[in-house]
Amino acid sequence: MLIAPKVLDWFDIYGRKDLPWQKQLLPYPVWISEIMLQQTQVTTVIPYFKRFIERFPTVRDLAEANLDDVLALWTGLGYYARARNLHKTAMMIMQDWAGVMPTRQSDLMTLPGIGRSTAAAIAAICHGEAVAILDGNVKRVIARHFAVGGWPGQSSTLRALWIHAEAQTPNKRIADYTQAMMDLGATVCTARHPACHACPIRSSCSARKTARIDEYPGKKPKKVKPKKSTAMLIVRTRGGDIRLVQRPAQGIWGGLFSFPECPLDELETKLPSSAVSVIKLPAFKHQFTHFELTIQPVLIDIKRRQDVPKVPNGTWLGSNQHPGFGLSRPAERLIKIVTELPFS
């Protein structure tokens, strides 16, 4: 049984058609939106998308931009490899594709950060190529409707989901169907408290028939995260200037600006003799995909910038100065805290 007719009828009435990137359905804004929407809610993405497109309205503008400017606009969205890949891909499009984004899924997949589903979304929505998508929302719809068990991160489960997704993809109205499936998962077949009464394919949904909706898709096997710790050294001048360093391009917070770090047991050896005061701020935890990091912020007040040695890749953020570069999430958080504290 094909679900496309009912899904399309539902989309005509209830589908989202006024999102910022849907105004003309051009490849560039659709690409930007698809990357931003990876593991991020629509409501969170919309203001970031608007600022990003305003600053970089074309592929050329993005390709010619400084990576720091790109990361600055991405600050707060997380998963910063997405921003670095956007910048890298824009440069490749200018160099290898004469400034025009490829139209076919197979060509789009050769570009950094564009996987099978993202490439399909761009090709289907913008060029009408009849290819299946399988983002997080669509995985949930397919898993429940066809009772595909197992965690989608497992290769066998993912293969089964792709088989169903491809079998259901129609040859006509492919752009609408692609958007409809994403909308159905995002607004009706939600992860928690799905609105089954409003679902256009509820009568044929295997999970609903067997009252096992919460079992699909399967949960990721639990794994205990390793725990790590670090001290972040926040050097601040009497005038309110704050010292930052740029992280290496590879690794966590790659290319972003943060605070110098050191192991907790080496903290005493890293404190400058010129410090007016040293205050340990409340420690907090930062969650990564693969580990948990406990951060001990240490506020080090000095009189002048010259009172501490220069550090590699270091810079100073002036008082009331808006950073023109990307910040790690902890740095963004700590800057807000420190600017509220009086100088010792």
Q: What is the structure's pLDDT at 44?
A: 95
Q: What is the structure's pLDDT at 251?
A: 87
Check if 34 is active-site: yes
Q: What is the structure's pLDDT at 78?
A: 87
Q: What is the structure's pLDDT at 321?
A: 85
Q: What is the structure's pLDDT at 233?
A: 97
DSSP state of 255: T
Rounded Cα distance between 39 and 216, Å, is 18
Query: pLDDT (tens digit, 9 = 90+) per residue, 23-42?
Result: 889 999 999 999 999 989 99
- pLDDT beneath 50, residues of the chain: none
Q: What is the structure's pLDDT at 320?
A: 82
Domains and CATH numbers, the chain: 4-215 (1.10.340.30), 227-338 (3.90.79.10)
Q: pTM for this structure?
A: 0.83
DSSP state of 77: T
Query: pLDDT (tens digit, 9 = 90+) per residue, 159-192?
Result: 999 999 999 999 999 999 999 999 999 999 999 9
CB neighbour list of residue 192: distance below 8 Å, 6 or more residues apart: none
- Residue 239 burial (C-beta neighbours within 10 Å; 0-12, 13-18, 19+): exposed
Given the residues 34, 54, 166, 266, select the one marked as catalytic. 34
Q: What is the structure's pLDDT at 298?
A: 97
Q: What is the structure's pLDDT at 289?
A: 84
Beta strands in the chain, from DSSP E residues, in sequence order: 227-237, 242-246, 257-258, 261-262, 277-280, 284-287, 292-302, 314-317
